[in-house]
Amino acid sequence: MRTVENWYVRLDGSDLPDRLEVGGKAWSLARMRQLGLPTPPAFVLPTEVCREYHRSGKELPEEAMAAVRRGIAYLEEETGRGFGARRRPLLVSVRSGSSISMPGMMDTVLNLGINDDVEAGLIKDGAPVELAADTHRRFLAGFGDIVRKADLPDSMAPAADLRAEIRRATGRAVPSDPWEQLIEAVCAVLESWYSRRAVTYRRHADIPEDLGTAVTIQAMVFGNMSNDSGTGVLFSRDPVTGVREPYGEYLPGGQGEDVVSGVLDPLPLSELKAQQPEIHRQLIEAAELLEQSNGDVQDIEFTVESGRLYLLQSRAAKRSPEAAVRLAVALADEGLISRPEALARVTPAQVTQMVRPQVDVRSAEESTVLATGEAASPGAGVGVAVSDPEEVVRLAEQGSDVVFVARHTSPEDVGAMIAARAVCTEVGGSTSHAAVVCRGLGLPAVVGAGEGAIAAIAGKIVTVDGTHGRVHSGALSLVAADDDPALATLGRWAAKLAGIEVSSTATGEVLDLDSAGVLDPAEVAAAVADAKVVSGAVLATEAGMGAALAAGIRDFVSTEPLPLLLAAVAARRGVTRDVPK
């Protein structure tokens, strides 16, 4: 229903809203407030606003604008600051948020509400001149890029130069009125639901188009405030290996986008412990609490402003296939989740990716290493190294194996990443866009390979070893992955619940769906009508296996039984899940 009451949701922890209505980011803020954790005050426009915005010809309804006005009044009350005020000004972030995580695929605008007068007001309130100027510059660079779609040649230019460049490039001035800035930013975030990169990611991840994005508006905190300020990302456990130890990065003097964009090279989390041990202790305790309360490994964005910790977001961590299997077993063994839930958290595709070949040790020892960096996503990928994302897609569509190499990746590159066999970046760390997305895609990746990596490998046939963080010259020999005890454990659990028999070899007549050209789950039922024993890749999907089970098939053949067992467990559950990857 279109009312201000329905479209204004305050994230103060007094109530836990529906994740489908407010998105994962806003839900996590409300949950953290409930747990007594430090978060900047925020409110959210629910996903229905997005659907209504696109239904009504991209006009922001008056009820939504009224909800924004009410929400800003709440932030002013909570912070003691005024939106657009010359003394104690309030600046805000405007963030997207789907109920299913789509890391980096939609838009965010930071430092909104600043103009020349507000910049002067920040200085009068005691903010360093450099901070005020940097905040103004950051806002204009982000607003120009995300809201106005301006191609800015120098995003580090002073504010006056950026304003002039945006006007020259777009024919429109950046509004000085903070309220005009805010409405434009809200509309830009709603528009980003249908951006090319977001649509591409949803199709690949099988995320429904009609979910829509919520819009979270939150009071800004500043990691660039002082020497004891900074920003970072923490995983409560290692999302690459599944090891039970905190894993993350910290960037002193930075804002959140500096870390996740991969544009800058952050420091290991141990630096935060060395510089501010009390903040590090608080952060680790918060991560443990969130993991226990949510029953899953957490990906936490945080900012430290003048020695005070703020949590900006917590979500189920994207993880490598190896980590997905090991974490599912570990969390079940620790009693945080049940065994059926553990099986639901691992997809057949992840198991298939986990048993993919690795670089042969002897072949690696005899090869030339062209670049080294951080092992961000395990596995090995071979192909010709290409730095142009459009060329990556074109070559892949022609059937070529391609490795995508870039200075850093952005959400605009997701099409190239999906098409590539592996990814290598010059800058960025283990929590950068490239690392997080590649882990979610099960794509081998090496990040932070250093200046000159593109020049060293572009145009050459290379092998990316995402397990050890190396890029080798040529197509190296690959060998089968070692057996993993967690995989064997998961297999035993799945065998008890699947209700099917999977043999590695056939002893009688087998209908091979691959040979019959049956790749679509919708064709399975008719194809298996007269069969007793069936094999085929389509059976390693919930829909394909579900069709076979409905047709009465209980005997299958596969050299890799576990993907079929997991598909059978999922089909019997008969529910659609948001499976963390």
Looking at the fold, whether 153 and 60 belong to one and the same domain comes out as yes
Looking at the fold, whether 148 and 178 belong to one and the same domain comes out as yes
Number of separate domains in the chain: 4
Looking at the fold, whether 433 and 527 belong to one and the same domain comes out as no
Looking at the fold, whether 242 and 193 belong to one and the same domain comes out as no
Note whether residue 323 is domain-resident: no
The whole domain housing 382 covers: 358-479
pTM of the predicted model as reported, rounded to 2 decimal places = 0.81
DSSP-based three-state secondary structure for 266: coil
Note whether residue 581 is domain-resident: no
Note whether residue 345 is domain-resident: no
Looking at the fold, whether 409 and 268 belong to one and the same domain comes out as no
Looking at the fold, whether 132 and 244 belong to one and the same domain comes out as no
**Nearest C-alpha neighbor of 427 from the set 452, 464, 397:** 452
Note whether residue 580 is domain-resident: no
Cα distance between residue 399 and residue 401, in whole Å: 7
Note whether residue 52 is domain-resident: yes
Note whether residue 50 is domain-resident: yes
**Nearest C-alpha neighbor of 48 from the set 69, 67, 30:** 67
Looking at the fold, whether 417 and 530 belong to one and the same domain comes out as no
Cα distance between residue 148 and residue 169, in whole Å: 9
Among residues 191, 220, 249, the one where a domain terminates is 220
Looking at the fold, whether 292 and 407 belong to one and the same domain comes out as no
User: Domain with 284 in it: what CATH number?
Assistant: 3.30.470.20
- pLDDT number for residue 227: 85
User: Domain with 129 in it: what CATH number?
Assistant: 3.30.1490.20
**Nearest C-alpha neighbor of 235 from the set 288, 300, 290:** 300
Which contacts (CB < 8 Å, 24+ apart) does range 56-64 have? Answer: 58/187, 58/190, 58/191, 60/183, 60/186, 60/187, 60/190, 61/2, 63/2, 63/3, 63/4, 63/7, 64/7, 64/186
Looking at the fold, whether 492 and 472 belong to one and the same domain comes out as no
Cα distance between residue 82 and residue 187, in whole Å: 22
Looking at the fold, whether 122 and 133 belong to one and the same domain comes out as yes
Per-residue pLDDT of the chain (581 residues; tens, 9 = 90+): 567 778 999 999 999 999 999 999 999 999 999 999 999 999 999 999 999 999 998 999 999 999 999 999 999 999 999 999 999 999 999 999 999 988 878 889 999 999 999 999 999 988 889 889 999 999 999 999 999 999 888 778 889 999 999 999 999 999 999 999 999 999 999 999 999 999 998 988 889 999 999 999 999 999 988 889 999 999 999 998 899 999 999 999 887 666 666 566 789 999 999 999 999 999 999 999 999 999 999 999 999 999 999 999 999 998 988 899 999 999 999 999 999 999 999 988 888 778 777 898 889 999 999 999 999 988 899 999 999 999 999 999 999 999 999 999 988 899 999 999 999 999 988 888 888 888 888 899 999 999 999 999 999 999 999 989 999 999 999 887 777 899 899 999 999 999 999 998 877 899 999 889 898 999 999 999 999 999 998 999 999 999 999 999 999 999 889 999 999 999 988 643 433 33
DSSP strand pairing (247-252 vs 230-235):
antiparallel
Note whether residue 579 is domain-resident: no
DSSP strand pairing (533-535 vs 555-557):
parallel
User: Domain with 428 in it: what CATH number?
Assistant: 3.50.30.10
C-alpha separations of 407 from 342, 448, 511 in Å? 37, 9, 48
- pLDDT number for residue 262: 58
Note whether residue 341 is domain-resident: no
Looking at the fold, whether 216 and 238 belong to one and the same domain comes out as no
Residue 562 CA, distance from chain mean position: 27
Among residues 291, 318, 345, the one where a domain terminates is 318
- pLDDT number for residue 548: 96
Among residues 318, 346, 381, the one where a domain terminates is 318
Looking at the fold, whether 230 and 100 belong to one and the same domain comes out as no
Count of beta carbons in the 10 Å neighbourhood of residue 491? 18
- pLDDT number for residue 577: 40
Structure tokens, 329: 């077993």
